[in-house]
A and B are shown apart, each in its own frame.
Chain A
Amino acid sequence: MPKNSIRGGVHPLERQQGGKASTSNTPIQPYAPSVVELSMSLFLGKPSTPVVKAGDHVKLGQVIGESGGFVSLPVHASVSGEVVSVRPKMMMMDQPEMTVTIRNDMQDEWVELTPLGKNVESVDPAAIIPAIQAAGICGLGGAAFPTHVKLTIPAGKTCETIIINGAECETHVTADHRLMLESPERIVQGLRLAMRATNVNKGIIAIEDNKKDAIATMQKAVAGLEGLSVVSLRAKYPQGSEKQLIQAVTGREVPSKGLPIDVGVVVLNAGTAAAISDAILLGRPLIERVTTVAGCVKTPGNFLVRIGTPVSELIEACGGYTEEPYRMIMGGCMTGLCVPDAAMPTGKRTNCVVALTEKEAKAQEEGPCIRCGRCLDVCPMGLQPYRMRNICDQGDLKKAEACDVMECVVCGCCTYICPARRQLTSVFKNTKDAIAREARRAK
């Protein structure tokens, strides 16, 4: 195992620098949408309950959906204006989601904000985690898991290190890269607040070495602060995947079926850390995030996007398409979700929107496995994708579980590398979902 790197892995779109070149030098610009659609399932967990109705006037940052419990978050108005509708709507998941639509009055009239303190040292540690939940913060790297749950260390476990994930190994995304360059102090404050809340004295900011400028900036930002350091990682996809990042940084492996806390680690995305800083020191809930817009648009860029902004408005902000898009992706090209309709709103997890042309993204026909072994070489988990696919195809979930399909992190490396264009990752994802459903039913 190479130090500061991972097992297996690939370099997607290597010749195009991972598709990042078009946006890595474009500063973050604020963008105000005409309308936002806020789902009550913007995060992983129990959906929120709407507390506004059509016709209401809401202020910026006002709670419009109440948290549904511990593994849940409130939803805040990301613009000020009039609530147009509250209704169930089909979004990216297979079930309709309760959605609040607000027309932006462009006044940006904030609710009253109450910061917990002016600086990190003056904040009451016990107040931090509840305030993070109240601010609606979830992981901004892609999984959207509520951050306060991660920071609540279970009894019997100890957290030794908090790692800030600045790997950003997915294609096209430069949102965290720009954030690290433009707001390093917010990321460091967020990290220190998370450390204060969990009584941890070691914080590591992990960045891939294809972002030398960000490494230098963050090094300057942590200089003189005790317990904080920056680690440079050899760039390789999927290093930003939580399990892989922990291995690259600490050399430890998260146990099978375990959590990062089992090896004394909590991982937070760079954007999440900045959101924690804003929530505690400014009292601001999570109403916007940095989103990269890339692909076949006229002027690709990075935007400070209000949660719930329709993708089509972001495309317009980039001057429209250069070519007819064939596929629109939220997230990167290795793990992102396909947007069925450009009117879909962005969410808290949307780090990137990529429009791809037919030439770039047309699915290719699947051929027979030629047993080249590349899938074994690239699997960061050490699995046997070719064999797992054969077993999953038999439809026996017990057998599939026995060949470790549940360990698959759905990174897409095997499918990316397969010369026969075998559908591996999607079969594993479907099988994992089926096994999880079966387990829930059995309970």
Chain B
Amino acid sequence: MSLHVSNAPYVFSGNTTRVLMRDVVIAMIPTALAGIFFFGLRALLHILIGIVAAVAAEYGYQKLLKKPIRIGDCSAVVTGMLIALNVPAAAPLWITLIGSLVAIILVKELFGGIGGNFMNPALTARAILMVSWPVAMTSFTLPVYGLGIGVDAVSSATVLGGLEATPLQMFLGLIPGTIGEVSKAAILIGLAYLLLRGVISWHIPVIYVASYAVLALLLGNDVLAGILSGGMLFGAVFMATDYTTSPMTKKGQMVYAAGCGLMTCIIRNFGSYPEGVTFAILLMNIATPLLDKYMGAGRVYGKGKKA
């Protein structure tokens, strides 16, 4: 019998990086299924390509540079899935492939891998895709409810681009948009799961949407349509909450989320894009080190008390 010796503590919570990332994947399944239901099997193809490309890129990069292989932490699965859910189903499949490679290699691994990147990999990739292939990234189609793989649907403007839709249609997802962003109902199921499992706290999603609503109200926008259309809810739940690129304290997270909401509204009203979520979150990602520096520390117990 040999006894092992190490420093305390000797027991750990069950939430490993892998478990947390797996939970994020599970939370995205409802919205992925909604996307497949509305846009057909082509949406599933995007998702599979996104995941496989992201995991393969991470494995290949780490193998090539003789780094520890970390694909087991499932974070690449999350990134790949996020990218696929962020493209329109009608976009060419190689768009998702390129997005995954860019996200993993350029944004994540070159900055040191998981925990090291300063911008959200999936969002940065989306921004690069948007400016590189603007037509492909904005060829939105109306939901087809079919299982077709080809691009047989009719191109359409989005709600933010001027399309008329009822709040119920927008809530259920019967509107054009990217694969994962259309069904708000499915996104809320994912949010409930993330909160229930303690993966994220309410702060970022709630404050993001609330601060958007306040400014939109002041600017005289249709607040409900603004929340239920476009990628805001998807961004607030799955993108802005990325651990690595959001502040670490609740205080910092609240300022960050408020910044996301306000910037989204400002870009939507005054920018040249009808949608502002991507750039709003990326901007606040860049502000995160600053927020951590100035809002990262709470008061230390017993400090400033007379001994």
List the A side residues contacting B305 at CB < 8 Å: 253-256, 258, 262
B6-A404 in contact (CB<8A): no
Contacts A371-B115, A425-B7; A256 near B13 (Cβ below 8 A): no
Chain B nearest CB from A432 CB (Å) reads 12
List the B side residues contacting A232 at CB < 8 Å: none
List the B side residues contacting A364 at CB < 8 Å: 12, 16
Pick from B8, B12, B299, B303 the residue with the most CB of A within 10 Å: B8
A383-B296 in contact (CB<8A): no
Q: Which of B3, B297, B300 contacts A325 (CB 8 A)?
A: B3
User: Restricting to B204-255, which residues have a CB under 8 Å from any CB of A?
Assistant: 243-244, 246-250, 253
Does A360 have its Cβ within 8 Å of any Cβ on chain B? yes
Chain A nearest CB from B107 CB (Å) reads 15
Does B166 have its Cβ within 8 Å of any Cβ on chain A? no
Q: Which of B5, B11, B116, B249 contacts A171 (CB 8 A)?
A: B11
B300-A341 in contact (CB<8A): no
Give CA–CA (A368, B6) in the complex, Å. Answer: 20
A371-B248 in contact (CB<8A): yes
Chain B nearest CB from A63 CB (Å) reads 33
List the A side residues contacting B304 at CB < 8 Å: 256
Contacts A329-B10, A416-B12; A256 near B302 (Cβ below 8 A): yes
List the A side residues contacting B303 at CB < 8 Å: 256, 404, 407
Residue of A nearest to B249 (CB): A376
List the A side residues contacting B13 at CB < 8 Å: 10, 12, 416-417, 419
Does B298 have its Cβ within 8 Å of any Cβ on chain A? yes
User: Restricting to A326-384, which residues have a CB under 8 Å from any CB of B?
Assistant: 326-329, 331, 333-342, 356, 360-361, 363-364, 367-374, 376-377, 380-384
Does B30 have its Cβ within 8 Å of any Cβ on chain A? no
Q: Which of B7, B70, B114 contacts A426 (CB 8 A)?
A: B7
Give CA–CA (A241, B302) in the complex, Å. Answer: 14
Residues of B in contact (CB 8 Å), total: 45
Interface size class of A (residues with CB under 8 A): 35 or more
Chain A nearest CB from B75 CB (Å) reads 8
Does A43 have its Cβ within 8 Å of any Cβ on chain B? no
Chain B nearest CB from A119 CB (Å) reads 38
List the B side residues contacting A22 at CB < 8 Å: none
Q: Which of A12, A257, A372, A382 contacts B11 (CB 8 A)?
A: A12
Residue of B nearest to A340 (CB): B5
List the B side residues contacting A324 at CB < 8 Å: 1
B307-A262 in contact (CB<8A): yes
Give CA–CA (A334, B8) in the complex, Å. Answer: 6
List the A side residues contacting B6 at CB < 8 Å: 327, 338, 363, 426
A254-B302 in contact (CB<8A): yes
Does B162 have its Cβ within 8 Å of any Cβ on chain A? no
Chain A nearest CB from B267 CB (Å) reads 26
A326-B3 in contact (CB<8A): yes
User: Restricting to B1-30, which residues have a CB under 8 Å from any CB of A?
Assistant: 1, 3-13, 15-17, 19-20
User: Restricting to A398-429, which residues have a CB under 8 Å from any CB of B?
Assistant: 404, 407, 410, 412, 415-421, 423, 425-426, 429
Chain A nearest CB from B121 CB (Å) reads 13
Chain A nearest CB from B237 CB (Å) reads 16
- Interface 0/1 of A271-303, CB less than 8 Å to B: 000000000000000000000000000000000
Contacts A257-B307, A335-B9, A425-B8; A370 near B301 (Cβ below 8 A): no
Q: Which of A327, A374, A419 contacts B19 (CB 8 A)?
A: A419
Give CA–CA (A10, B8) in the complex, Å. Answer: 15
B302-A255 in contact (CB<8A): yes
Does B66 have its Cβ within 8 Å of any Cβ on chain A? no
Contacts A243-B302, A425-B7; A258 near B307 (Cβ below 8 A): yes
Q: Which of B7, B15, B115, B301 contacts A368 (CB 8 A)?
A: B115
Residue of A nearest to B4 (CB): A327
List the B side residues contacting A381 at CB < 8 Å: 300-302
Does B274 have its Cβ within 8 Å of any Cβ on chain A? no
Contacts A382-B301, A407-B301; A327 near B10 (Cβ below 8 A): yes
Give CA–CA (A374, B306) in the complex, Å. Answer: 30
Does A7 have its Cβ within 8 Å of any Cβ on chain B? yes
B3-A419 in contact (CB<8A): no
A356-B10 in contact (CB<8A): yes
Give CA–CA (A372, B253) in the complex, Å. Answer: 11
User: Restricting to B246-285, which residues have a CB under 8 Å from any CB of A?
Assistant: 246-250, 253
Contacts A10-B13, A326-B4, A426-B7; A372 near B307 (Cβ below 8 A): no
Chain A nearest CB from B27 CB (Å) reads 15
Residue of B nearest to A360 (CB): B11
List the B side residues contacting A257 at CB < 8 Å: 307
A336-B8 in contact (CB<8A): yes
Residue of B nearest to A415 (CB): B9
A370-B243 in contact (CB<8A): yes
A338-B4 in contact (CB<8A): yes
Chain B nearest CB from A341 CB (Å) reads 7
List the A side residues contacting B7 at CB < 8 Å: 423, 425-426, 429
B301-A243 in contact (CB<8A): yes
Does A387 have its Cβ within 8 Å of any Cβ on chain B? yes
Chain B nearest CB from A435 CB (Å) reads 16
Give CA–CA (A163, B246) in the complex, Å. Answer: 42
Chain A nearest CB from B226 CB (Å) reads 29
B300-A333 in contact (CB<8A): no
Give 5 pairs: A residue, B residue, CB < 8 Å, sorted on A.
Answer: A255-B302, A256-B300, A336-B10, A338-B10, A382-B300
5 closest cross-chain pairs (CB), A and B: A426-B7, A412-B9, A373-B248, A255-B305, A258-B307
Binding site for A on B (CB under 8 A): 1, 3-13, 15-17, 19-20, 70, 73, 75, 112-116, 243-244, 246-250, 253, 296-307
